[in-house]
Structure 1
Amino acid sequence: MVNIKLFNDYFLASHIAVPLLTVNNQDTHDIIRMFFETYNFNVVGFKEENKVIGYLDREQYDYNSNTIEESLISINTSDIVAANTPLVDIFALMEGKERLFLMSDSTIDLLITKADLQKPPVRMLLFGLVTLLESEMADVIRVHHPSGEWKNLLTEGRVKKIEALYEKRKEKNIEIDSIDCTQFADKKTVVLEDTSLRENLFTSSKKSAEKWMRKVELLRDDLAHAQSLTNWFETENTVLLVIEIQKMIHKLGLQKFEKIISK
Protein backbone atom coordinates (compact mmCIF):
# COMPACT_ATOMS: atom_id res chain seq x y z
CA MET A 1 0.00 0.00 0.00
CA VAL A 2 1.22 3.49 -0.84
CA ASN A 3 1.47 5.46 2.39
CA ILE A 4 0.08 9.00 2.66
CA LYS A 5 3.54 9.93 3.96
CA LEU A 6 4.65 9.73 0.33
CA PHE A 7 2.61 12.86 -0.43
CA ASN A 8 4.13 14.65 2.56
CA ASP A 9 7.65 13.86 1.36
CA TYR A 10 7.28 14.71 -2.33
CA PHE A 11 4.72 17.53 -2.52
CA LEU A 12 5.94 20.61 -0.65
CA ALA A 13 4.73 24.19 -0.26
CA SER A 14 7.80 25.43 -2.13
CA HIS A 15 6.66 23.55 -5.25
CA ILE A 16 3.83 26.02 -5.88
CA ALA A 17 5.37 29.16 -4.37
CA VAL A 18 6.75 32.15 -6.29
CA PRO A 19 9.75 34.32 -5.33
CA LEU A 20 8.85 37.26 -3.12
CA LEU A 21 10.03 40.45 -4.80
CA THR A 22 11.31 42.96 -2.22
CA VAL A 23 12.02 46.68 -1.92
CA ASN A 24 13.55 48.87 0.80
CA ASN A 25 13.28 52.44 2.06
CA GLN A 26 15.61 53.66 -0.70
CA ASP A 27 13.01 52.84 -3.36
CA THR A 28 10.39 55.27 -4.63
CA HIS A 29 6.67 55.36 -5.42
CA ASP A 30 7.59 55.05 -9.10
CA ILE A 31 9.38 51.77 -8.43
CA ILE A 32 6.37 50.46 -6.51
CA ARG A 33 4.02 51.60 -9.27
CA MET A 34 6.12 49.72 -11.81
CA PHE A 35 5.91 46.51 -9.79
CA PHE A 36 2.17 46.82 -9.17
CA GLU A 37 0.93 48.24 -12.46
CA THR A 38 3.49 47.23 -15.07
CA TYR A 39 4.48 43.82 -13.75
CA ASN A 40 1.09 43.16 -12.12
CA PHE A 41 2.37 42.11 -8.69
CA ASN A 42 -0.21 42.20 -5.89
CA VAL A 43 2.28 41.98 -3.03
CA VAL A 44 5.85 43.22 -2.63
CA GLY A 45 8.00 42.40 0.40
CA PHE A 46 9.74 45.18 2.35
CA LYS A 47 13.28 44.66 3.61
CA GLU A 48 15.10 46.41 6.39
CA GLU A 49 18.73 45.48 7.10
CA ASN A 50 18.39 42.66 4.58
CA LYS A 51 15.44 41.14 6.44
CA VAL A 52 11.81 41.08 5.30
CA ILE A 53 9.83 42.86 8.01
CA GLY A 54 6.53 43.40 6.19
CA TYR A 55 4.91 43.84 2.80
CA LEU A 56 3.13 46.33 0.55
CA ASP A 57 -0.31 45.48 -0.84
CA ARG A 58 -1.40 46.73 -4.25
CA GLU A 59 -4.95 47.45 -3.08
CA GLN A 60 -3.87 49.37 0.02
CA TYR A 61 -0.81 51.23 -1.22
CA ASP A 62 -0.89 55.02 -0.83
CA TYR A 63 1.05 56.81 -3.58
CA ASN A 64 0.41 60.15 -1.85
CA SER A 65 2.31 59.23 1.31
CA ASN A 66 5.70 60.73 2.07
CA THR A 67 7.50 57.39 2.12
CA ILE A 68 6.68 53.86 0.99
CA GLU A 69 7.07 52.71 4.61
CA GLU A 70 3.79 54.44 5.49
CA SER A 71 1.98 51.71 3.53
CA LEU A 72 3.92 48.92 5.23
CA ILE A 73 1.83 46.00 6.52
CA SER A 74 3.22 43.71 9.21
CA ILE A 75 3.40 39.98 8.58
CA ASN A 76 1.61 37.91 11.21
CA THR A 77 3.46 34.85 12.44
CA SER A 78 0.40 32.77 11.46
CA ASP A 79 1.02 33.83 7.85
CA ILE A 80 4.56 32.39 7.81
CA VAL A 81 5.32 28.71 7.15
CA ALA A 82 8.43 26.74 6.33
CA ALA A 83 9.15 26.23 2.64
CA ASN A 84 9.31 22.46 3.19
CA THR A 85 5.83 22.30 4.73
CA PRO A 86 3.88 19.39 3.16
CA LEU A 87 1.65 20.74 0.43
CA VAL A 88 -1.29 18.79 1.81
CA ASP A 89 -1.08 20.93 4.98
CA ILE A 90 -1.18 24.18 2.99
CA PHE A 91 -4.90 23.73 2.23
CA ALA A 92 -5.81 24.10 5.90
CA LEU A 93 -3.22 26.84 6.51
CA MET A 94 -4.60 28.87 3.56
CA GLU A 95 -8.19 28.71 4.79
CA GLY A 96 -9.49 32.25 5.27
CA LYS A 97 -6.23 33.77 4.01
CA GLU A 98 -5.25 35.50 0.79
CA ARG A 99 -1.60 34.49 1.01
CA LEU A 100 1.14 32.72 2.94
CA PHE A 101 4.79 33.75 3.23
CA LEU A 102 7.36 30.96 3.07
CA MET A 103 10.60 30.92 4.97
CA SER A 104 13.72 29.05 3.91
CA ASP A 105 17.10 29.33 5.65
CA SER A 106 15.62 31.79 8.18
CA THR A 107 14.59 34.15 5.38
CA ILE A 108 11.13 34.96 4.03
CA ASP A 109 11.70 34.62 0.30
CA LEU A 110 8.64 32.91 -1.19
CA LEU A 111 4.93 33.60 -1.48
CA ILE A 112 1.81 31.49 -2.02
CA THR A 113 -1.54 32.99 -3.04
CA LYS A 114 -4.90 31.43 -3.84
CA ALA A 115 -4.02 31.50 -7.53
CA ASP A 116 -1.13 29.12 -6.84
CA LEU A 117 -3.61 26.46 -5.71
CA GLN A 118 -4.41 25.96 -9.41
CA LYS A 119 -0.88 24.80 -10.21
CA PRO A 120 0.02 21.27 -11.40
CA PRO A 121 1.54 20.05 -8.09
CA VAL A 122 -1.80 20.74 -6.34
CA ARG A 123 -3.71 18.87 -9.03
CA MET A 124 -1.22 15.99 -8.85
CA LEU A 125 -1.54 15.83 -5.07
CA LEU A 126 -5.35 15.84 -5.10
CA PHE A 127 -5.53 13.27 -7.89
CA GLY A 128 -2.99 11.13 -6.04
CA LEU A 129 -5.07 11.19 -2.85
CA VAL A 130 -8.25 10.25 -4.72
CA THR A 131 -6.39 7.50 -6.59
CA LEU A 132 -5.04 6.14 -3.30
CA LEU A 133 -8.56 6.24 -1.89
CA GLU A 134 -9.85 4.24 -4.87
CA SER A 135 -7.00 1.75 -4.53
CA GLU A 136 -7.80 1.21 -0.85
CA MET A 137 -11.48 0.76 -1.70
CA ALA A 138 -10.51 -1.97 -4.18
CA ASP A 139 -8.34 -3.75 -1.59
CA VAL A 140 -11.10 -3.66 1.02
CA ILE A 141 -13.62 -5.04 -1.47
CA ARG A 142 -11.21 -7.88 -2.26
CA VAL A 143 -10.81 -8.98 1.35
CA HIS A 144 -14.50 -8.58 2.16
CA HIS A 145 -15.64 -10.39 -1.01
CA PRO A 146 -12.80 -12.80 -1.87
CA SER A 147 -15.00 -14.90 -4.15
CA GLY A 148 -16.31 -11.99 -6.17
CA GLU A 149 -19.64 -11.62 -4.34
CA TRP A 150 -19.30 -7.85 -4.74
CA LYS A 151 -20.65 -8.26 -8.28
CA ASN A 152 -24.07 -8.99 -6.79
CA LEU A 153 -24.18 -5.39 -5.58
CA LEU A 154 -23.84 -3.97 -9.10
CA THR A 155 -26.31 -3.92 -11.99
CA GLU A 156 -26.20 -6.72 -14.54
CA GLY A 157 -25.14 -4.26 -17.22
CA ARG A 158 -22.13 -3.03 -15.24
CA VAL A 159 -21.06 -6.60 -14.39
CA LYS A 160 -21.12 -7.58 -18.06
CA LYS A 161 -18.94 -4.61 -19.01
CA ILE A 162 -16.50 -5.35 -16.18
CA GLU A 163 -16.21 -9.02 -17.14
CA ALA A 164 -15.77 -8.15 -20.83
CA LEU A 165 -12.91 -5.78 -19.98
CA TYR A 166 -11.41 -8.40 -17.68
CA GLU A 167 -11.39 -11.04 -20.44
CA LYS A 168 -9.90 -8.55 -22.89
CA ARG A 169 -7.06 -7.71 -20.54
CA LYS A 170 -6.46 -11.36 -19.72
CA GLU A 171 -5.84 -12.00 -23.41
CA LYS A 172 -2.99 -9.50 -23.20
CA ASN A 173 -1.57 -11.46 -20.24
CA ILE A 174 -2.01 -8.53 -17.85
CA GLU A 175 -1.86 -9.58 -14.18
CA ILE A 176 -5.18 -8.31 -12.83
CA ASP A 177 -8.41 -9.44 -11.26
CA SER A 178 -11.93 -8.27 -12.11
CA ILE A 179 -11.98 -5.58 -9.41
CA ASP A 180 -9.17 -3.86 -11.34
CA CYS A 181 -11.60 -3.48 -14.23
CA THR A 182 -14.12 -1.47 -12.24
CA GLN A 183 -14.56 2.28 -12.27
CA PHE A 184 -14.61 4.58 -9.25
CA ALA A 185 -18.41 4.62 -9.45
CA ASP A 186 -18.53 0.80 -9.22
CA LYS A 187 -16.36 0.70 -6.12
CA LYS A 188 -18.45 3.48 -4.61
CA THR A 189 -21.62 1.47 -5.21
CA VAL A 190 -20.16 -1.67 -3.62
CA VAL A 191 -18.98 0.20 -0.53
CA LEU A 192 -22.36 1.90 -0.11
CA GLU A 193 -24.46 -1.19 -0.78
CA ASP A 194 -22.45 -3.44 1.53
CA THR A 195 -24.25 -2.50 4.76
CA SER A 196 -21.60 -3.87 7.11
CA LEU A 197 -18.74 -2.20 5.26
CA ARG A 198 -20.58 1.10 4.91
CA GLU A 199 -21.46 1.26 8.60
CA ASN A 200 -17.85 0.57 9.56
CA LEU A 201 -16.62 3.37 7.34
CA PHE A 202 -19.31 6.01 7.82
CA THR A 203 -21.00 7.25 10.96
CA SER A 204 -23.57 9.13 8.90
CA SER A 205 -26.63 7.88 7.01
CA LYS A 206 -26.38 6.06 3.69
CA LYS A 207 -27.68 9.19 1.94
CA SER A 208 -24.98 11.36 3.51
CA ALA A 209 -22.32 8.76 2.73
CA GLU A 210 -23.46 8.67 -0.89
CA LYS A 211 -23.35 12.47 -1.09
CA TRP A 212 -19.80 12.51 0.25
CA MET A 213 -18.63 9.83 -2.16
CA ARG A 214 -20.25 11.68 -5.04
CA LYS A 215 -18.34 14.84 -4.11
CA VAL A 216 -15.07 12.91 -4.18
CA GLU A 217 -16.04 11.47 -7.54
CA LEU A 218 -16.79 14.93 -8.95
CA LEU A 219 -13.41 16.20 -7.74
CA ARG A 220 -11.74 13.23 -9.41
CA ASP A 221 -13.57 13.92 -12.68
CA ASP A 222 -12.62 17.61 -12.68
CA LEU A 223 -8.99 16.71 -12.03
CA ALA A 224 -8.96 14.02 -14.72
CA HIS A 225 -10.45 16.38 -17.30
CA ALA A 226 -8.22 19.33 -16.34
CA GLN A 227 -11.16 21.46 -15.23
CA SER A 228 -10.50 24.63 -13.25
CA LEU A 229 -10.31 24.15 -9.49
CA THR A 230 -11.54 27.67 -8.75
CA ASN A 231 -14.97 26.44 -7.71
CA TRP A 232 -13.45 23.86 -5.36
CA PHE A 233 -11.38 26.43 -3.49
CA GLU A 234 -13.93 29.26 -3.50
CA THR A 235 -17.36 27.66 -2.99
CA GLU A 236 -16.59 24.12 -1.79
CA ASN A 237 -14.91 23.25 1.49
CA THR A 238 -11.99 21.51 -0.21
CA VAL A 239 -9.84 21.79 2.92
CA LEU A 240 -12.33 19.65 4.84
CA LEU A 241 -12.74 17.24 1.92
CA VAL A 242 -8.99 16.65 1.71
CA ILE A 243 -8.84 15.96 5.45
CA GLU A 244 -11.81 13.59 5.17
CA ILE A 245 -10.24 11.73 2.23
CA GLN A 246 -7.10 11.14 4.29
CA LYS A 247 -9.19 9.86 7.21
CA MET A 248 -11.14 7.56 4.88
CA ILE A 249 -7.92 6.13 3.44
CA HIS A 250 -6.84 5.35 7.01
CA LYS A 251 -10.21 3.74 7.83
CA LEU A 252 -10.08 1.59 4.71
CA GLY A 253 -6.59 0.44 5.66
CA LEU A 254 -7.82 -0.56 9.12
CA GLN A 255 -10.81 -2.40 7.66
CA LYS A 256 -8.53 -4.37 5.36
CA PHE A 257 -6.09 -5.21 8.17
CA GLU A 258 -8.82 -6.27 10.61
CA LYS A 259 -10.47 -8.49 8.03
CA ILE A 260 -7.19 -10.17 7.13
CA ILE A 261 -6.17 -10.97 10.71
CA SER A 262 -9.66 -12.23 11.56
CA LYS A 263 -9.38 -15.03 9.01
Structure 2
Amino acid sequence: MGYQLWMSPISGYRRNGTRFSALKKIFIDNVTVRDIYEPLLCCRINDPSLHVKDTLLHRQFDTAGVIDLGKKVIGYINTAELKGGIVEQYYREIKIEQVISDSTPLASLLNVLKESELLFVNHGAKIVGIITKADLNKPPVRVYVFGMLSLFEMHLNSWIRHDYPDNCWHDKISEQRLVKAQEIYGHRTLSNQDLTLLDCLQLADKRDLLAKSQEFKERFKFSKQDLERFIKSAEKIRNEIAHSQDSIIACMPWNNFVEVLNRVDKFLSESDQRIEDAAKNGAHDFVEYLTTA
Protein backbone atom coordinates (compact mmCIF):
# COMPACT_ATOMS: atom_id res chain seq x y z
CA MET A 1 0.00 0.00 0.00
CA GLY A 2 1.38 3.40 -0.94
CA TYR A 3 -0.16 5.53 1.78
CA GLN A 4 1.81 4.07 4.72
CA LEU A 5 4.99 2.15 3.99
CA TRP A 6 6.34 1.30 7.40
CA MET A 7 8.52 -1.82 7.16
CA SER A 8 10.01 -4.23 4.64
CA PRO A 9 8.82 -7.80 5.32
CA ILE A 10 12.02 -9.12 3.68
CA SER A 11 14.67 -7.09 5.50
CA GLY A 12 12.62 -6.60 8.67
CA TYR A 13 13.67 -2.96 8.84
CA ARG A 14 11.46 0.09 9.06
CA ARG A 15 11.45 2.46 6.10
CA ASN A 16 13.53 5.62 6.52
CA GLY A 17 11.53 8.56 7.82
CA THR A 18 8.77 6.58 9.54
CA ARG A 19 10.35 6.28 13.00
CA PHE A 20 9.80 9.05 15.52
CA SER A 21 13.31 8.40 16.85
CA ALA A 22 14.66 9.15 13.36
CA LEU A 23 12.88 12.51 13.30
CA LYS A 24 14.30 13.38 16.72
CA LYS A 25 17.79 12.28 15.63
CA ILE A 26 17.71 14.69 12.71
CA PHE A 27 17.08 17.59 15.04
CA ILE A 28 19.33 16.35 17.85
CA ASP A 29 22.30 15.88 15.50
CA ASN A 30 21.81 18.80 13.15
CA VAL A 31 19.57 21.54 14.55
CA THR A 32 20.52 23.24 17.81
CA VAL A 33 20.09 26.48 19.71
CA ARG A 34 22.86 27.84 17.49
CA ASP A 35 20.39 27.93 14.59
CA ILE A 36 17.77 30.14 16.25
CA TYR A 37 19.35 32.35 18.93
CA GLU A 38 19.85 36.10 18.47
CA PRO A 39 23.23 37.80 19.02
CA LEU A 40 23.34 39.58 22.40
CA LEU A 41 23.34 43.37 22.06
CA CYS A 42 25.50 44.78 24.87
CA CYS A 43 26.14 48.11 26.55
CA ARG A 44 29.03 49.14 28.80
CA ILE A 45 28.66 49.11 32.55
CA ASN A 46 29.41 52.85 32.78
CA ASP A 47 27.08 53.98 29.94
CA PRO A 48 24.35 56.52 30.79
CA SER A 49 21.24 54.43 31.43
CA LEU A 50 18.77 56.80 29.70
CA HIS A 51 20.86 56.85 26.53
CA VAL A 52 20.94 53.06 26.57
CA LYS A 53 17.19 52.94 27.19
CA ASP A 54 16.49 55.17 24.16
CA THR A 55 18.59 52.90 21.98
CA LEU A 56 16.86 49.75 23.21
CA LEU A 57 13.38 51.24 22.82
CA HIS A 58 14.24 52.32 19.27
CA ARG A 59 15.28 48.75 18.46
CA GLN A 60 12.33 47.30 20.42
CA PHE A 61 14.62 45.29 22.70
CA ASP A 62 13.47 44.35 26.19
CA THR A 63 16.86 43.11 27.36
CA ALA A 64 20.54 43.80 26.69
CA GLY A 65 23.80 42.39 27.95
CA VAL A 66 26.23 44.40 30.04
CA ILE A 67 30.00 44.25 29.51
CA ASP A 68 32.81 45.44 31.77
CA LEU A 69 35.80 47.48 30.70
CA GLY A 70 37.45 44.28 29.47
CA LYS A 71 34.46 43.62 27.16
CA LYS A 72 33.38 40.56 29.12
CA VAL A 73 29.63 39.96 29.56
CA ILE A 74 28.97 40.29 33.29
CA GLY A 75 25.19 40.67 33.41
CA TYR A 76 22.09 42.08 31.76
CA ILE A 77 19.57 44.90 32.04
CA ASN A 78 15.84 45.15 31.48
CA THR A 79 14.86 48.14 29.38
CA ALA A 80 11.78 48.98 31.45
CA GLU A 81 13.83 49.32 34.65
CA LEU A 82 16.27 51.92 33.34
CA LYS A 83 15.98 55.46 34.73
CA GLY A 84 18.64 58.03 35.61
CA GLY A 85 22.29 57.31 36.41
CA ILE A 86 24.49 54.70 34.77
CA VAL A 87 23.96 51.09 33.75
CA GLU A 88 25.90 49.75 36.75
CA GLN A 89 23.00 50.77 39.00
CA TYR A 90 20.54 48.50 37.18
CA TYR A 91 22.35 45.45 35.84
CA ARG A 92 21.70 41.96 37.14
CA GLU A 93 24.13 39.09 37.24
CA ILE A 94 23.49 36.16 34.91
CA LYS A 95 22.83 33.03 36.96
CA ILE A 96 24.05 29.64 35.85
CA GLU A 97 20.49 28.36 35.36
CA GLN A 98 19.92 31.19 32.85
CA VAL A 99 22.68 29.96 30.55
CA ILE A 100 22.31 27.36 27.81
CA SER A 101 24.90 26.00 25.39
CA ASP A 102 24.61 26.87 21.72
CA SER A 103 24.93 23.13 21.04
CA THR A 104 21.75 22.27 22.98
CA PRO A 105 19.45 20.21 20.72
CA LEU A 106 16.26 21.84 19.57
CA ALA A 107 14.35 18.84 20.90
CA SER A 108 15.58 19.66 24.44
CA LEU A 109 15.00 23.41 24.31
CA LEU A 110 11.24 23.43 24.91
CA ASN A 111 11.48 22.02 28.42
CA VAL A 112 14.38 24.31 29.34
CA LEU A 113 12.41 27.39 28.30
CA LYS A 114 9.49 26.14 30.37
CA GLU A 115 11.33 27.38 33.47
CA SER A 116 12.55 30.76 32.15
CA GLU A 117 11.30 33.63 30.00
CA LEU A 118 14.72 34.03 28.38
CA LEU A 119 18.07 32.29 28.31
CA PHE A 120 21.58 33.45 27.54
CA VAL A 121 23.52 31.37 25.04
CA ASN A 122 27.15 30.51 25.51
CA HIS A 123 29.76 29.25 23.08
CA GLY A 124 32.50 27.70 25.13
CA ALA A 125 33.03 30.06 28.08
CA LYS A 126 31.67 33.13 26.30
CA ILE A 127 28.12 34.50 26.34
CA VAL A 128 27.26 35.15 22.69
CA GLY A 129 23.48 35.36 22.40
CA ILE A 130 20.01 35.34 23.83
CA ILE A 131 16.98 33.17 23.19
CA THR A 132 13.34 33.72 24.16
CA LYS A 133 10.07 31.91 23.61
CA ALA A 134 9.45 34.16 20.60
CA ASP A 135 12.37 32.44 18.83
CA LEU A 136 10.34 29.24 18.80
CA ASN A 137 8.32 30.74 15.94
CA LYS A 138 11.32 30.46 13.64
CA PRO A 139 11.25 27.91 10.76
CA PRO A 140 13.47 25.18 12.33
CA VAL A 141 11.15 24.90 15.34
CA ARG A 142 8.02 24.99 13.20
CA VAL A 143 9.38 22.20 10.98
CA TYR A 144 10.22 20.04 14.00
CA VAL A 145 6.84 20.50 15.71
CA PHE A 146 4.89 20.03 12.47
CA GLY A 147 6.86 16.86 11.77
CA MET A 148 5.98 15.52 15.21
CA LEU A 149 2.30 16.26 14.73
CA SER A 150 2.21 14.81 11.22
CA LEU A 151 3.66 11.55 12.54
CA PHE A 152 1.17 11.72 15.40
CA GLU A 153 -1.73 11.74 12.95
CA MET A 154 -0.19 8.89 10.96
CA HIS A 155 -0.08 6.81 14.14
CA LEU A 156 -3.68 7.65 14.99
CA ASN A 157 -4.66 6.45 11.51
CA SER A 158 -2.84 3.17 12.06
CA TRP A 159 -4.67 2.48 15.31
CA ILE A 160 -8.04 3.31 13.78
CA ARG A 161 -7.35 0.70 11.08
CA HIS A 162 -6.30 -1.73 13.80
CA ASP A 163 -9.29 -1.16 16.08
CA TYR A 164 -11.83 -0.80 13.27
CA PRO A 165 -11.01 -3.63 10.83
CA ASP A 166 -12.55 -3.72 7.37
CA ASN A 167 -13.39 -0.01 7.59
CA CYS A 168 -16.16 -0.63 10.11
CA TRP A 169 -15.50 2.91 11.37
CA HIS A 170 -17.81 4.11 8.56
CA ASP A 171 -20.77 3.37 10.83
CA LYS A 172 -19.26 5.16 13.81
CA ILE A 173 -19.29 8.73 12.46
CA SER A 174 -22.16 10.88 11.29
CA GLU A 175 -23.36 10.65 7.71
CA GLN A 176 -22.49 14.32 7.24
CA ARG A 177 -18.85 13.78 8.25
CA LEU A 178 -18.59 10.67 6.09
CA VAL A 179 -19.95 12.52 3.04
CA LYS A 180 -17.48 15.35 3.65
CA ALA A 181 -14.59 12.86 3.76
CA GLN A 182 -15.84 11.25 0.53
CA GLU A 183 -15.90 14.65 -1.19
CA ILE A 184 -12.32 15.35 -0.13
CA TYR A 185 -11.28 11.87 -1.23
CA GLY A 186 -12.82 12.43 -4.66
CA HIS A 187 -11.03 15.74 -5.17
CA ARG A 188 -7.66 14.38 -4.09
CA THR A 189 -7.81 11.20 -6.15
CA LEU A 190 -8.37 13.38 -9.23
CA SER A 191 -4.87 14.70 -8.52
CA ASN A 192 -3.51 11.14 -8.44
CA GLN A 193 -2.86 11.31 -4.70
CA ASP A 194 -2.41 7.84 -3.21
CA LEU A 195 -4.59 7.84 -0.09
CA THR A 196 -7.57 6.27 1.61
CA LEU A 197 -10.89 7.58 2.84
CA LEU A 198 -9.53 7.53 6.38
CA ASP A 199 -6.79 9.96 5.35
CA CYS A 200 -9.53 12.41 4.37
CA LEU A 201 -11.19 12.54 7.77
CA GLN A 202 -10.65 15.60 9.93
CA LEU A 203 -8.51 15.09 13.02
CA ALA A 204 -11.60 15.77 15.14
CA ASP A 205 -13.31 12.78 13.48
CA LYS A 206 -10.34 10.55 14.23
CA ARG A 207 -10.37 11.78 17.82
CA ASP A 208 -14.02 10.78 18.15
CA LEU A 209 -13.38 7.33 16.69
CA LEU A 210 -10.51 6.60 19.05
CA ALA A 211 -12.46 7.94 22.01
CA LYS A 212 -15.05 5.25 21.23
CA SER A 213 -12.40 2.51 21.09
CA GLN A 214 -12.02 0.86 24.48
CA GLU A 215 -9.01 -1.08 23.17
CA PHE A 216 -7.15 2.08 22.22
CA LYS A 217 -7.89 3.80 25.53
CA GLU A 218 -6.73 0.79 27.53
CA ARG A 219 -3.68 0.27 25.33
CA PHE A 220 -2.39 3.79 25.96
CA LYS A 221 -4.04 4.34 29.35
CA PHE A 222 -6.35 7.21 28.32
CA SER A 223 -9.70 8.14 29.76
CA LYS A 224 -12.24 9.30 27.19
CA GLN A 225 -12.10 12.91 28.40
CA ASP A 226 -8.31 12.98 28.62
CA LEU A 227 -7.91 11.56 25.12
CA GLU A 228 -10.33 14.10 23.66
CA ARG A 229 -8.56 17.01 25.35
CA PHE A 230 -5.15 15.73 24.29
CA ILE A 231 -5.93 15.32 20.59
CA LYS A 232 -7.87 18.58 20.50
CA SER A 233 -4.86 20.46 21.93
CA ALA A 234 -2.47 18.79 19.48
CA GLU A 235 -4.79 19.74 16.63
CA LYS A 236 -4.83 23.34 17.82
CA ILE A 237 -1.03 23.57 17.68
CA ARG A 238 -0.92 21.87 14.27
CA ASN A 239 -3.47 24.29 12.86
CA GLU A 240 -1.49 27.28 14.10
CA ILE A 241 1.55 26.04 12.20
CA ALA A 242 -0.32 24.89 9.10
CA HIS A 243 -2.09 28.24 8.76
CA SER A 244 1.21 30.13 9.10
CA GLN A 245 0.20 32.11 12.17
CA ASP A 246 2.77 34.63 13.39
CA SER A 247 3.00 32.82 16.71
CA ILE A 248 2.57 29.09 17.24
CA ILE A 249 2.79 29.50 21.03
CA ALA A 250 -0.03 32.02 21.43
CA CYS A 251 -2.80 29.45 21.05
CA MET A 252 -2.53 28.21 24.65
CA PRO A 253 -0.59 28.86 27.89
CA TRP A 254 3.10 28.05 27.57
CA ASN A 255 3.12 25.22 30.12
CA ASN A 256 0.18 23.59 28.32
CA PHE A 257 1.98 23.94 24.97
CA VAL A 258 5.06 22.15 26.31
CA GLU A 259 2.97 19.51 28.09
CA VAL A 260 1.07 18.66 24.89
CA LEU A 261 4.29 18.24 22.90
CA ASN A 262 5.80 16.12 25.67
CA ARG A 263 2.74 13.88 25.60
CA VAL A 264 2.91 13.61 21.81
CA ASP A 265 6.58 12.65 22.20
CA LYS A 266 5.74 9.95 24.76
CA PHE A 267 2.80 8.62 22.75
CA LEU A 268 4.83 8.39 19.53
CA SER A 269 7.66 6.52 21.23
CA GLU A 270 5.27 3.94 22.67
CA SER A 271 3.13 3.66 19.55
CA ASP A 272 6.25 3.36 17.39
CA GLN A 273 7.44 0.35 19.32
CA ARG A 274 4.03 -1.32 19.42
CA ILE A 275 3.57 -1.00 15.66
CA GLU A 276 7.07 -2.26 14.91
CA ASP A 277 6.72 -5.26 17.21
CA ALA A 278 3.36 -6.17 15.69
CA ALA A 279 4.64 -5.84 12.12
CA LYS A 280 7.76 -7.91 12.84
CA ASN A 281 5.58 -10.62 14.35
CA GLY A 282 3.43 -10.66 11.24
CA ALA A 283 0.30 -9.34 12.90
CA HIS A 284 -2.52 -9.44 10.35
CA ASP A 285 -3.79 -6.05 11.53
CA PHE A 286 -0.59 -4.42 10.31
CA VAL A 287 -0.17 -6.16 6.96
CA GLU A 288 -1.26 -2.91 5.28
CA TYR A 289 1.84 -1.18 6.66
CA LEU A 290 4.26 -3.55 4.93
CA THR A 291 5.74 -3.33 1.48
CA THR A 292 8.08 -5.44 -0.61
CA ALA A 293 11.78 -4.57 -0.46
Whether TM-score is above 0.5 comes out as yes
Which residue pairs with 2:266 in the alignment? 247
Mapped to 1, the partners of 2:104 and 2:236 lie a distance apart of: 27
Which residue pairs with 1:85 in the alignment? 104
Question: Structure 1's 172 and 230: CA in aligned 2 closer, same or farther, altered over 3 A?
Answer: closer
Look up the SS of the partner of 2:131 in the other structure: strand
Q: Please provide the CA RMSD for this pair.
A: 2.8
- Whether contact under 8 Å (2:163, 2:213) holds in the other structure is no
- Whether contact under 8 Å (1:143, 1:259) holds in the other structure is no
Displacement of 1:172 in angstroms is 4.4
Displacement of 1:19 in angstroms is 1.1
Look up the SS of the partner of 2:136 in the other structure: helix
Paired residues for 1:130-145 under 5 Å: 130-145=149-164
- Whether contact under 8 Å (1:11, 1:125) holds in the other structure is no
Pick one of 191, 199, 205 that aligns with 2:223: 205
The one-letter code of the counterpart of 2:218 is E
Look up the SS of the partner of 1:244 in the other structure: helix
The one-letter code of the counterpart of 1:86 is P
Aligned residues: 260
- Whether contact under 8 Å (1:14, 1:110) holds in the other structure is no
Look up the SS of the partner of 1:74 in the other structure: coil
**Tell me, which stretches of 5 or more residues in structure 2 are unaligned?**
1-17, 284-293
Cα deviation code 1:74-121 (max 9, x no counterpart):
111111111232233222212242211111243211111233334444
Question: Structure 1's 119 and 148: CA in aligned 2 closer, same or farther, altered over 3 A?
Answer: same
- Whether contact under 8 Å (2:40, 2:65) holds in the other structure is yes
Which residue pairs with 1:224 in the alignment? 242
TM-score, L = length of structure 2: 0.76
Paired residues for 1:161-172 under 5 Å: 161-172=180-191
Paired residues for 1:70-149 under 5 Å: 70-145=89-164, 147-149=166-168
Look up the SS of the partner of 1:59 in the other structure: helix
**129-138 or 153-162: bigger deviation:** 153-162
Displacement of 1:240 in angstroms is 1.1
Mapped to 1, the partners of 2:53 and 2:177 lie a distance apart of: 61
Which residue pairs with 2:52 in the alignment? 32
- Whether contact under 8 Å (1:153, 1:194) holds in the other structure is no
Mapped to 2, the partners of 1:243 and 1:118 lie a distance apart of: 18
Cα deviation code 1:153-205 (max 9, x no counterpart):
3333333443454455445443333333332223222322221012212x242
TM-score, L = length of structure 1: 0.83
Look up the SS of the partner of 2:166 in the other structure: coil
Mapped to 2, the partners of 1:71 and 1:165 lie a distance apart of: 60
Mapped to 2, the partners of 1:103 and 1:81 lie a distance apart of: 6
Cα deviation code 1:7-34 (max 9, x no counterpart):
4345432333211012234544354234
Ranked by relative contact order (alpha carbons within 8 Å, sequence separation 6 or more), the top structure is 2
Mapped to 1, the partners of 2:179 and 2:171 lie a distance apart of: 12
Which residue pairs with 1:63 in the alignment? 84
Displacement of 1:212 in angstroms is 1.7
The one-letter code of the counterpart of 1:141 is I
Mapped to 2, the partners of 1:183 and 1:69 lie a distance apart of: 57
Mapped to 2, the partners of 1:182 and 1:17 lie a distance apart of: 38
The one-letter code of the counterpart of 1:35 is T
Question: Structure 1's 172 and 21: CA in aligned 2 closer, same or farther, altered over 3 A?
Answer: closer
Pick one of 64, 82, 92 that aligns with 1:44: 64
